């Protein structure tokens, strides 16, 4: 008997019919003798619809109340799935995040899990029931409801698998697994059988939407093997786990594209020690993530500093950057939203030279200009014009012979 955690995304539970489809799968897994705990997302676009509803009441709804509202979405699907299982003769009971034992840190809409003690879930499993847990939520020490940030049900599932010491965590979604690149951009994209935690974390953080980065991080920290697969067929998906091969032959494993980026340029910054620290600590204090950063070569005692943030964070960023830029005597602050970040990822890159050159050659062959470059041990990212993203992804995919571009 195995202990399995399964998570079903919004599309997989998007209608009553689909909830029954999920219930049949869950019941089948339980009837083969496994203990099954299930985590569900809200049905279809429920979270977006609830956010729109909140905004129709107030342009700036209080975060506490927004969390209260959003957590209902996952409760609906958890309760309906438990009912469907019951209808199929498979005993089940549903739990909210707090009932399942998730204690969060009090940040209303982007909370972290502080502790997870799944007493009631364990009890239900021991009684031979399927435990259905509402994803994406927890309660802080005062009992206030928090959400785990968009896409956070994945994190609930992996954290539950870690807390229960489950044998496997299956993430059921509407695609067949993790692809070498977004198949909507590059038809030659291929499904990967396996990807390491480090590589998946880069892919997820750099724009591959299939898994929430925090879920990958949690899986890596607790050694939870994650199987990303489709809820619409029986195919094996992609395993996310520790890289156990002594030497991997793969240099580049995948490509991630992120069009949700904006570039901010601070022009004419006096070239003195401490200025970059002032600017970026102000940004950091607001919890804004900065990614690519470049500083131009000094001329006339001045630099330009360019960096990227998520397009959603532009207003927040400008609100902190403008006053600091004025204070230090910078000449101007400009924003450019039409940019995208294309990245190649692969743990094998660490021991191979020439990967950057191949990527730049692929971009050059398409006449694509690179605005900013950044690298880590296992990835190379280039900021390019947003309208060229598809050309870039195709050319790079071909250059590295990934997926069905393999020769
Ligand atoms: N329903 C939430 C969202 O749409 C959480 C999730 O699905 O993972 O972001
Ligand atoms: Mg998701």
pTM of the model: 0.90
CA of 79 to the centre of ligand 2 (A): 20
Phi-psi region of 3 (alpha: psi -120 to 50; beta: other; left: phi over 0): beta
Let me know the angle formed at the C-alpha of 177 by 15 and 153, rounded to the nearest 5 degrees. 55
Q: How many CA atoms lie within 13 A of 348 on its CB side?
A: 15
Residue nearest ligand 1's atom 4 by CA:
47
Residues with CB under 5 A from ligand 2 (ion): 151
> For 298-315, how does the pLDDT look when each residue is reduced to its tens digit (9 = 90+)?
788 899 999 999 999 999
Atom of ligand 1 nearest to the CA of 152: 8
Between the CA of 154 and the centroid of ligand 2 the distance, in Å, is 7
What's the pLDDT at 246? 54
* Nearest protein CA to atom 5 of ligand 1, as residue: 151
Question: pLDDT tens digit string along 240-296?
Answer: 999 866 556 678 999 999 999 999 999 999 988 888 899 999 999 988 989 889 888
Please spell the DSSP secondary structure of 288-313, one letter per residue.
Answer: PPP--EEEPPPBTTEEEEEEEEEGGG
The span from the CA of 188 to the CA of 231, in Å, is 23
Question: Which ligand 1 atom lies nearest to the CA of residue 156?
Answer: 8
Q: Where in the chain is CATH 3.30.2130.10?
A: 254-402
* The pLDDT value given to residue 180: 96
Smallest CA-to-CA distance from 182 within 394, 407, 405, 21 is with 394
Residue 340: what pLDDT?
96
**73 CB under 6 A from ligand 1?**
yes
Going by alpha carbons, the residue nearest to atom 6 of ligand 1 is 151
Instruction: Count the neighbouring beta carbons within 10 Å of the beta carbon of residue 223.
Output: 10
105 touches 111 (CB < 8 A): yes
Q: What is the DSSP string of 42-74?
A: -STTHHHHHHHHHHHH-SS--HHHHHHHHHHHH
* Atom of ligand 1 lying closest to residue 74 CA: 1
Share of the chain above pLDDT 90, in %: 87
Q: Is the dihedral of CA 31, 34, 35, 38 positive or negative?
A: negative
CATH of domain 254-402: 3.30.2130.10
Domain with CATH 3.40.1160.10 in the chain: 3-174
Four-way CATH pick for 3-174: 3.40.50.300, 2.130.10.10, 3.90.180.10, 3.40.1160.10? 3.40.1160.10
Question: Which atom of ligand 1 sits closest to the CA of residue 48?
Answer: 4
Spatial distance between the Cα atoms of 368 and 236, rounded to a whole number of angstroms? 37
């Amino acid at each position: 008997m195995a202990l399995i955690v399964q998570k079903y995304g919004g599309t997989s539970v998007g209608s009553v019919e689909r909830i029954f489809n999920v219930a049949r799968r869950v019941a089948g897994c339980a009837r083969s003798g496994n203990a099954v705990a299930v985590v569900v997302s809200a049905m279809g676009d429920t979270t977006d619809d609830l956010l729109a509803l909140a905004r129709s009441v107030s342009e700036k709804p209080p975060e506490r109340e927004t969390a209260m509202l959003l957590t209902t979405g996952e409760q609906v699907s958890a309760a309906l799935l438990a009912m469907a299982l019951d209808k199929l003769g498979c005993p089940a009971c549903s739990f909210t995040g707090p009932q399942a034992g998730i204690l969060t840190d009090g940040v209303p809409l982007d909370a972290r899990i502080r502790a997870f003690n799944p007493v009631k879930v364990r009890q239900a499993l021991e009684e031979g029931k399927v435990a259905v847990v509402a994803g994406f939520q927890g309660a802080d020490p005062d009992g206030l409801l928090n959400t785990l940030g968009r896409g956070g049900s994945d994190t609930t599932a992996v954290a539950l698998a870690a807390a229960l010491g489950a044998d496997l965590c299956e993430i059921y979604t509407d695609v067949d697994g993790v692809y070498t690149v977004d198949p909507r951009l590059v038809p030659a994209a291929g499904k990967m059988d396996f990807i390491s935690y480090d590589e998946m974390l880069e892919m997820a953080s750099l724009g591959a939407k299939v898994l929430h980065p925090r879920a990958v991080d949690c899986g890596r920290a607790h050694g939870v093997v994650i199987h990303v697969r489709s809820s619409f067929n029986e195919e094996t998906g992609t395993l996310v786990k520790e890289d156990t091969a002594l030497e991997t032959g793969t240099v580049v494993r995948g490509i991630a594209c992120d069009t949700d980026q904006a570039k901010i340029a601070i022009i004419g910054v006096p070239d003195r020690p401490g200025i970059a620290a002032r600017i970026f600590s102000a940004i950091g204090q607001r919890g804004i993530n900065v990614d690519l950063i470049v500083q131009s070569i000094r001329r006339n005692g001045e630099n330009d500093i360019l960096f990227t943030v998520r397009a959603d964070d532009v207003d927040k960023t400008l609100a902190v950057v403008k006053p600091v830029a004025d204070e230090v005597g910078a000449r101007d602050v400009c924003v450019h939203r039409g940019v995208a970040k294309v990245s190649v990822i692969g743990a094998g890159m660490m021991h191979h030279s020439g990967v950057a050159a191949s990527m730049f050659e692929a971009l050059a062959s398409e006449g694509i200009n690179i605005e900013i470059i950044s690298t880590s041990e296992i990835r190379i990212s280039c900021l390019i014009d947003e309208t060229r993203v598809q050309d870039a992804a195709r050319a790079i995919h071909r250059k590295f012979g990934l997926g069905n571009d393999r020769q």
